[in-house]
Amino acid sequence: LNVNAAAAANILRGNDNFLILTHKKPDGDTLGCAAALCLGLRAIGKTAFVLENPETTPRYAPMVAPLYADGNFKPQTVVAVDCASRDILPANAQNFAVDLALDHHPTNTHYAKLSVVAPEEAACASVVAAVLRKLKVAVTPEIATALYVAVSTDTGCFSYDNTNAAAFALAAQCAKDGADITAINREIFRVKTRARIALEGAILGGIEFAFDGRAAIAVITRELILSCGAVEDDLENIAAIPVSIEGVVAAFTIRELEDEPGKFKISVRSAPGFSSSEFAQKFGGGGHAGASGFSKTASVETIKTIILQALTEYFA
């Protein structure tokens, strides 16, 4: 059942002992929303915790780790943030029945008893902020910082196509409420690890172009990742690199998976006019018009050949 922010706030107000769930491969939006909601519920006198997500990276851990539930906590009300479906919940969250989902993915499967799904929002942060407003939570700088992390990361620091007036409005409100936007912008969007820079250098040096520069292919093997000393945090949004080159319409990043050597994830990124999702669907994948992916177990050379073959129908 779909409800609005006011109805969701009423449900939260009438319940207690909250556990907040985040999605697999947690990003700034799901973790920022979890932190903001947890702190907001505590601010109105509720008991609330975040379920530890085992894939939380060191970049975001300081924001959520102090809010983790211990193993003895018995939740009465379970809330999922930024989670479109049950199967994107981490394994340790699979046994919980979800009472309320706060989300912005149009693909939300309505797995929760009640859902607030706002596909027009760039980040789930806007949904959480609306609920906190209805709860009359006095937003602290800590809450504002968590919301700012969420909205700024989901919009690529307000540069992706999903960036809209509501995202800017939320960011402005976060700034008024004392979010440390200077530190967040620097730490998340400007400072890169040396491993990341080494990886970017190798990727940029190795990009192959085809069809007069309209297509670009980058390859990231486990060997390259290890030789750069890169960890998961260093790989965030790495697939955005080849599509940032002028003239490239369709970009492919072939990345070897850590847990399945020899299997590759192919991220597709495209400029308007080329549907990434339509392309990925040919290979059993999916996603959005501008960003999609599929996976394949084959050699890098074979995967390149398959991609170039499939592209002839677009560019030849």
The site for Mn ion (CB under 5 A) is made up of: 29, 82, 124, 154
Question: Could you tell me which residues come within 8 angstroms of residue 227 by beta carbon, excluding any fewer than 6 positions away?
Answer: none
Q: Which is nearer to Mn ion, 155 or 228 (CB)?
A: 155
For 112, the 3-state DSSP assignment is coil
Q: Among 115, 149, 104, 131, which residue's Cα sits nearest to residue 46?
A: 131
CB of 235 to Mn ion, least distance (A): 18
CB of 113 to Mn ion, least distance (A): 21
Q: Which is nearer to Mn ion, 228 or 276 (CB)?
A: 276
Please identify which residue in the block is written with the tokens 């992706």.
Answer: 160
For 287, the 3-state DSSP assignment is strand
Q: Do the strands 263-270 and 250-256 form a parallel or antiparallel pair, or are they unpaired?
A: antiparallel
Q: Which is nearer to Mn ion, 82 or 256 (CB)?
A: 82
CB of 124 to Mn ion, least distance (A): 5
Torsion of CA 84, 86, 90, 92, to 10 degrees: 140
Token digits for 158? 């307000």
CB of 74 to Mn ion, least distance (A): 29
| Cβ atoms of 170 and 151 closer than 8 Å | yes
| Cβ atoms of 266 and 254 closer than 8 Å | yes
**Bridge partners of 80?**
21, 101
Q: Where are the beta strands (DSSP E) in 111-231?
A: 114-117, 208-210, 215-220
Q: Which is nearer to Mn ion, 15 or 162 (CB)?
A: 162
Q: Which is nearer to Mn ion, 128 or 199 (CB)?
A: 128
Q: Among 93, 74, 244, which residue's Cα sits nearest to residue 156?
A: 244
CB of 239 to Mn ion, least distance (A): 17
Q: Which is nearer to Mn ion, 99 or 154 (CB)?
A: 154
| Cβ atoms of 157 and 190 closer than 8 Å | no
CB of 31 to Mn ion, least distance (A): 10
Q: Which is nearer to Mn ion, 154 or 256 (CB)?
A: 154
User: How far is Cα 202 from Cα 200, in angstroms, rounded to an integer?
Assistant: 5
Token digits for 291? 């960003």
Q: Which is nearer to Mn ion, 52 or 154 (CB)?
A: 154
Question: Could you tell me which residues come within 8 angstroms of residue 41 by beta carbon, excluding any fewer than 6 positions away?
Answer: 12, 18, 48, 135
User: How far is Cα 292 from Cα 289, in angstroms, rounded to an integer?
Assistant: 7
Q: Which is nearer to Mn ion, 63 or 303 (CB)?
A: 63
